[in-house]
Structure 1
Amino acid sequence: MFLRIDHIGIACNDLEEKIALFSGLFDLTVVAREVNEEQGVKEAMLHIADGAGGASYIQLLEPLSADSPVGKFLAKRGEGVHHVAFGVPDVAGAMEQIGAKGVRLLDERPRHGSMGSSIAFLHPKDVGGMLTELVQSARPEQM
């Protein structure tokens, strides 16, 4: 079902500061920046590497407001890993398959994600306490 770890989402208070940290420490390159009003974040995707299943990234997330999901996460837990995202060939199919196993889906249907992808989230209580994202890449080479 999973092609790769698509990205690790990291919640941060200052996007520019964290971009400088990760690009400076690990020589990562920012390949995309977006403001996602629906999710209430400013984000940057930093390329890690390309593998057999496609590329992997670090996704840095700064909340647009304190009452956004990432804003609430930061208030409760502070900066750090927010979620793990797995690349799948068909996000709707993966949702159906995983939902049939009793895992609660936080999304009823796929929605817009970073870099044109389709995404859906799984309830962390059903996945060992980890917020899990399913990502169907918009990049044909990663499907």
Structure 2
Amino acid sequence: VESEGVSTSFFMLGETKIELLQATNEDSAIAKFIDKKGEGIHHIAYAVDNILTEMERLKAEGFEILNKEPKHGADNKLICFLHPKSTNGILVELCQERDK
């Protein structure tokens, strides 16, 4: 995802999709995360059918959404993130599949 300064690779493990991220520039969020915390799990992602509906529902439930609008993510998905302070310290991503 050039706009985010990362390259991605996806692997299936049963019904679970694993995404590996690699920073492509030192100013990317992933590079900054690794500099601060070291290598490891960056976030957990959940597939949703309608990202706008889920963003509205979660915001109404008191979750802090980091994006005002969904962004274009890897593998042609629409994505948004929930602030870790809303999710017990874990960065959570919502992903909506789109036609390729």
Q: TM-score, normalised by structure 2?
A: 0.92
**Is residue 2:85 matched to residue 1:125?**
yes
**Is residue 2:70 matched to residue 1:105?**
no
Say how many residue pairs are matched.
99
Task: Give the drift of 1:138.
Answer: 2.4
**Is residue 2:5 matched to residue 1:40?**
yes
The 1-side partners of 2:75 and 2:24 are apart by 19
Higher strand residue share: 1
**Structure 1: stretches of 5+ with no match in the other structure:** 1-35, 51-55
The 1-side partners of 2:59 and 2:5 are apart by 26
**Is residue 2:30 matched to residue 1:70?**
yes
Q: Which residue of 2 aligns with 1:134?
A: 94
**Aligned Cα RMSD in Å?**
1.2
The percentage of counterpart residues that share the same residue type is 37
**Structure 2: stretches of 5+ with no match in the other structure:** none
* Secondary structure of 1:66's aligned partner: coil
The code of the aligned residue for 1:42 comes to: S
1 or 2 for the larger relative contact order (CA 8 Å, sep ≥6)? 1
Mark the structure with the bigger radius of gyration: 1
Task: Give the drift of 1:103.
Answer: 1.2
Q: Which residue of 2 aligns with 1:116?
A: 76
The code of the aligned residue for 1:38 comes to: S
C-alpha change, 1:49 and 1:138, in structure 2 (3 Å) is farther
* Secondary structure of 2:19's aligned partner: strand
The code of the aligned residue for 1:68 comes to: S
The code of the aligned residue for 2:30 comes to: V
The 2-side partners of 1:115 and 1:68 are apart by 18
* Secondary structure of 1:81's aligned partner: coil
The 1-side partners of 2:21 and 2:54 are apart by 25
